[in-house]
């Protein structure tokens, strides 16, 4: 597409008619108990260590109405439980670290401020999802979370990228479950915010290509991605009244790959590890299995022999940007949720898998 100088000039003329913030329209300070996402700077650029939301929102909130559950209540309950994990990761980072923990790593001096802003956005998501659940249903509260970071700022930054791409993928997948049209749009709008968080990290933290090619990756079974985040929940720490997370939950065996044996780029061989000794996939002799790879809008199945346990990442996928997801299924292209028997695993192509350390990054 070509823009003439004249067109650019006329675009510039249009700009002042946009509602740019002025002192009278700028968000006013609202006390945390009443703060509304989209109206309060607490969800935008508040830099304090204290959570930006009032304690009355920081717990499970029982149903108050007797009416029927809203059509998307289950979806938003699952999403709220996931958001507690994401918000808590950032809140722990804001609590634990100081600006110098990041400048010591050679990062820009606004890194801590950006992390606080992302924390604020995630707090806004909590309030948005709480409000999307009807009064006929419980709003799940936070559990205790262990991210295994050992107070390491670089481990936090690696996990941050992983969490953002996970949430981009499960938000895209959740839109397949949404009943109300407005829910679909809300999921898309939130997903775009998570993408901005990821782009910030790729640019300012990892100094790499911020783009992911023409499309981010679609994985059809969002609850399976949500389920993998149960690994961060301290067992038994959730409020007793919380519903199962996610619901429905398959509890599939988690997949990892042996990170030091591969570049994990298209065309390279990978070997899987099923790390939980009490949750191993069950392979039947003589049955066919497939490693089903997802990248962009593409799905590619590769024959998987459990005894050999080595598959090649499809070499037709474009170069090292975005993510590749993989699960193991007993049918080509995993046409149903039930055909998936392990996974999914998210393989980060950026900022480069080998820059990231176990247990999150592969
Ligand atoms: C932060 O970095 C910018 C750009 O390098 C510099 O201009 C600014 O003075 C720094 N601010 C502080 C508070 O160090
Ligand atoms: C945290 O420490 C434990 C125990 O020393 C270690 O196994 C784990 O790999 C560390 N995690 C990170 C992210 O460095
Ligand atoms: C969603 O929008 C489509 C297109 O306007 C409309 O046909 C459909 O009835 C809407 N669905 C709901 C649940 O409102
Ligand atoms: C790769 O990792 C495995 C187990 O994590 C370890 O036994 C092996 O020595 C590592 N190999 C290299 C080349 O680092």
List the alpha helices (DSSP H) in 97-150: 99-103, 111-132
In our burial notation (b when 16+ CB lie closer than 10 A, e otherwise), range 211-245 reads ebbeebbbbbbbbbbbbbbbbbbeeeebeeebbeb
Who has greater pLDDT, 67 or 101? 101
Ligand 3 atom nearest the C-alpha of 179 is 13
- The count of C-alpha atoms lying within 13 angstroms of the C-alpha of 214, restricted to the half-sphere facing its C-beta, is 4
Question: Tens digit of pLDDT for each residue in 22-57?
Answer: 444 444 556 788 899 998 999 999 999 999 999 999
Query: Whole-angstrom Cα distance, residue 325 to residue 159?
Result: 17
Length of the chain: 362
Is the predicted pLDDT of residue 75 greater than 90, yes or no?
A: yes
Residue with the smallest CA separation from ligand 2 atom 2 is 150
Looking at the DSSP bridge assignments, the partners of residue 342 are 328
Question: Tens digit of pLDDT for each residue in 270-292?
Answer: 999 998 999 999 999 999 999 99
* Closest-approaching ligand to the CA atom of 185: 3
Q: Are strands 269-270 and 311-312 parallel, antiparallel or unpaired?
A: antiparallel
User: In the chain, pLDDT over 70 holds for what percent of residues?
Assistant: 89
Question: Tens digit of pLDDT for each residue in 305-349?
Answer: 999 999 999 999 987 789 999 999 999 999 999 999 999 999 988
Q: Indicate the pTM of the whole model.
A: 0.89
What does the pLDDT read at residue 8?
42
Of 96, 149, 150, 259, best ligand 2 pocket probe by most atoms within 8 Å of the beta carbon = 150
Q: Which two tokens stand for residue 61?
A: 């909130």
Residue with tokens 């949720």: 337
Ligand 3 atom nearest the C-alpha of 180 is 13
Who has greater pLDDT, 37 or 361? 37
Query: Whole-angstrom Cα distance, residue 285 to residue 300?
Result: 24
Q: Give how far the C-alpha of residue 270 lies from the chain's centroid of Cα atoms, to the nearest Å.
A: 24
- Please work out whether the CB of residue 150 comes within 6 Å of at least one atom of ligand 2: yes
Q: 3-class DSSP state for residue 291?
A: strand
C-alpha 176 – ligand 3 centre gap (Å): 14
Q: What is the DSSP letter of 50?
A: S
Q: What is the DSSP string of 56-96?
A: GGSS-B-----SPPPTTHHHHHHHHHHHHHHHHHHHHHHHH
For residue 248, is the peptide bond before it cis, meaning its omega torsion is within 30 degrees of 0? yes
Query: Whole-angstrom Cα distance, residue 216 to residue 321?
Result: 10
Residues 6 or more apart in contact with residue 244 via CB below 8 angstroms = none
What does the pLDDT read at residue 171?
97
How confident is the model over 16-24, as a mean pLDDT? 43
- Please work out whether the CB of residue 244 comes within 6 Å of at least one atom of ligand 3: no
C-alpha 261 – ligand 4 centre gap (Å): 8
Q: Which two tokens stand for residue 310?
A: 């080595």
* Domains assigned to the chain: 31-232 (1.20.1260), 255-354 (2.60.40)
Q: Which two tokens stand for residue 175?
A: 């839109």
Question: Tens digit of pLDDT for each residue in 216-244?
Answer: 999 999 999 999 999 999 999 999 999 99
Q: Choose among 34, 32, 39, 38: nearest CA to 54.
A: 32
Q: Choose among 150, 156, 175, 70: nearest CA to 118.
A: 156
* Closest-approaching ligand to the CA atom of 260: 4
What does the pLDDT read at residue 66?
82
Ligand 3 atom nearest the C-alpha of 71 is 13
List the alpha helices (DSSP H) in 231-323: none
Q: What is the DSSP string of 205-241?
A: IT-S-----SSPPP-S-HHHHHHHGGGGBPTT-S-TT
C-alpha 308 – ligand 4 centre gap (Å): 18
What does the pLDDT read at residue 30?
67
In our burial notation (b when 16+ CB lie closer than 10 A, e otherwise), range 81-117 reads bbbbbbbbbbbbbbeebebebbeeeebeeebbebbbb
- Please work out whether the CB of residue 11 comes within 6 Å of at least one atom of ligand 3: no
What does the pLDDT read at residue 65?
85
- The count of C-alpha atoms lying within 13 angstroms of the C-alpha of 239, restricted to the half-sphere facing its C-beta, is 15
Is the predicted pLDDT of residue 198 greater than 90, yes or no?
A: yes
How confident is the model over 255-269, as a mean pLDDT? 86
């Amino acid at each position: 597409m070509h823009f003439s100088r004249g067109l650019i000039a006329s675009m510039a003329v249009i700009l002042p008619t946009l509602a740019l913030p002025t002192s009278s329209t700028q968000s006013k300070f609202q006390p945390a108990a009443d703060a509304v996402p989209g109206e309060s700077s607490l969800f935008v650029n508040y830099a304090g260590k204290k959570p930006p939301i009032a304690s009355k929102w920081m717990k499970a909130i029982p149903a108050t109405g007797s009416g029927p559950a809203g059509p998307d209540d289950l979806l938003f309950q699952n999403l709220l439980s996931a958001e507690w994990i994401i918000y808590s990761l950032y809140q722990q980072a804001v609590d634990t670290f100081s600006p110098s923990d990041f400048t010591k790593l050679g990062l820009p001096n606004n890194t801590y401020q950006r992390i606080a802003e992302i924390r604020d956005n995630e707090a806004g998501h909590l309030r948005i999802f709480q409000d999307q659940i009807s009064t006929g249903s419980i709003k799940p509260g936070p559990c205790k979370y262990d991210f295994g970071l050992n107070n390491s700022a670089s481990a936090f930054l690696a996990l941050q990228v992983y969490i953002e791409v996970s949430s981009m993928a499960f938000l895209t997948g959740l839109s397949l479950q949404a009943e109300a049209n407005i829910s679909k749009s809300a999921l898309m709008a939130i997903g775009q915010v998570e993408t901005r968080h990821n782009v910030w990290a790729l640019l300012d933290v990892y100094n790499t290509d911020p783009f992911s090619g023409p499309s981010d990756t679609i994985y059809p079974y969002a609850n399976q991605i949500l389920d993998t985040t149960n690994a961060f929940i301290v067992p038994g720490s959730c409020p007793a009244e919380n519903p199962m997370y996610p619901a429905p939950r398959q509890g599939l065996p988690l997949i990892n790959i042996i990170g030091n044996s591969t570049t994990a780029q298209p065309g390279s061989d990978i070997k899987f590890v099923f790390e939980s000794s009490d949750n191993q996939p069950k392979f039947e002799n003589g049955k066919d299995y497939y490693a089903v790879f997802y990248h962009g809008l593409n799905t590619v199945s590769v024959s998987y022999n459990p005894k050999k346990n080595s598959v090649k990442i499809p070499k037709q996928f474009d170069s090292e940007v975005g993510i590749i997801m993989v699960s193991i299924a007993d049918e080509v292209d995993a046409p149903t949720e039930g055909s998936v028997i392990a996974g999914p695993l998210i393989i980060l192509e950026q900022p480069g898998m080998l820059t990231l350390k176990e247990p999150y990054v592969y």
